[in-house]
Amino acid sequence: MHFNTDLLLLARESRGYSQTELAKRAGMTQETVSRYENNSLAVAEENARKLAGALNYPLEFFSQDARVYGAGITFETYFRKRTSVGSLHLRKVQAQMEVLRLRLDRLLRNIELESEFNFDAMDIDEYDGDVERIAGLLRAAWKLPPGPVKNLVGVIERAGGLVIHFGFGTPKIDAASQWVRGMPPLFFVNSSAPGDRQRLTLSHELGHVLMHRTMSANVEEEADRFASSFLMPAHDILPELRSRPRLTLDLLSNLKVRWRVSMQALVRRARDLGVITENEYRNLFIEFSRRGWRKHEPVEVQHEEPKLLAEVLTTVLKTSFADVGDLAKALLADEEDLRQQFPLGPTRLRVLSNKRNTGDSRG
């Protein structure tokens, strides 16, 4: 059997194991694992089984002739994160995302995803760095009406992008995106982030996917500008930001309900558009801090639920596979793993123990 050692590294990182830890679980030496990963030693069949078992991946997973993106390096993927995320954790989630991508690649191989609109790259350099213009052109291409984007996830899915609510295992990573040739653009959004944060972050990733085919120094700032321009076009939001003599907290909370972005994002937009001065901007943020709103703002924005992947899964389960176990086999995945990553519903009906007889629960 062909054993792809890139996938060994990927699987190990996806579990967050060190070489030593994997070696222990698989009953071999760390040196052996290291030599396997370096491709300096052929993996014997028996050891391949042990490694697969220890990693809880089907043996067939390792026989894929797949190109692995981003394993051990960080260049193919954009992350929106705070710098304090440890590199080990980052590698773990990156590996998990890549495993998911390989599964999606298999899943989508025989499926034509029909979409109303398209993703067409708009390289920032070809637009002289005019991010506002790119955001406006995209809104026009995707036929968005003026005003707030009511459902950003829906908009991206209508253009054929896949949005995945992902457990990053830390609130410090907001999102990541990836556009690999031959696949739809993938957007991984932290499932535990508040709705308004998810939207801004998703819009930021959308900016990367469209504008940045290559890395440069300003990509993060450009993606931020894209995010606010796309969700709050100057032309539409200016009259509303100016609608009273002063940008009050009351007005901001009303605008938050309507535009479905945080008050902080609104205040930043107001400053960038010259509606408020740098001083007013600072005072508003001092006020936010004083009220503890920097971390937890009032006014909840509902999460937008991705639907496209769930639809694909429902369809293939109806037409091509007997059950989830069968699908898992085809995707070279452990069934439980697949259920955790994909919107497939609960594993099984969970029967709660009948507590009435034990007297634990009353009323």
Stretch that binds Zn ion, among 11-19, 164-172, 209-217, 220-228 (CB under 5 A): 220-228
Residue 80 is a binding residue for Zn ion (CB under 5 A): yes
In the bound state with Zn ion, the residue whose beta carbon lies nearer, of 71 and 227, is 227
What secondary structure does DSSP assign to 298-329, as a single string?
A: SSPPPPPPP-HHHHHHHHHHHHT-SSHHHHHH
Residue at token pair 């709660």: 352
Residue 216 CB neighbour total at 10 angstroms:
9
Site map (CB under 5 A) of Zn ion, residues 236-275, x = contact:
----------------------------------------
Stretch that binds Zn ion, among 17-25, 58-66, 80-88, 180-188 (CB under 5 A): 80-88
Min dist CB 220 to Zn ion, Å, is 5
Distance from the Cα of residue 232 to its chain's centroid: 22
Q: Which long-range contacts (CB under 8 A, 24 or more apart) does 38-46 make?
A: 38/5, 39/5, 42/3, 43/3, 43/5, 43/8, 45/1
In the bound state with Zn ion, the residue whose beta carbon lies nearer, of 132 and 337, is 132
In the bound state with Zn ion, the residue whose beta carbon lies nearer, of 80 and 165, is 80
Binding footprint of Zn ion, residue count (CB under 5 A): 4
At residue 79, the 3 state secondary structure works out as strand
Min dist CB 141 to Zn ion, Å, is 22
In the bound state with Zn ion, the residue whose beta carbon lies nearer, of 220 and 272, is 220
Min dist CB 208 to Zn ion, Å, is 5
In the bound state with Zn ion, the residue whose beta carbon lies nearer, of 223 and 232, is 223
As a whole number of angstroms, the distance between CA 259 and CA 257 comes to 6
In the bound state with Zn ion, the residue whose beta carbon lies nearer, of 206 and 328, is 206
As a whole number of angstroms, the distance between CA 252 and CA 256 comes to 6
Min dist CB 85 to Zn ion, Å, is 13
Min dist CB 86 to Zn ion, Å, is 19
Stretch that binds Zn ion, among 49-57, 73-81, 143-151, 246-254 (CB under 5 A): 73-81
Q: Which residues bind Zn ion (CB under 5 A)?
A: 78, 80, 220, 223
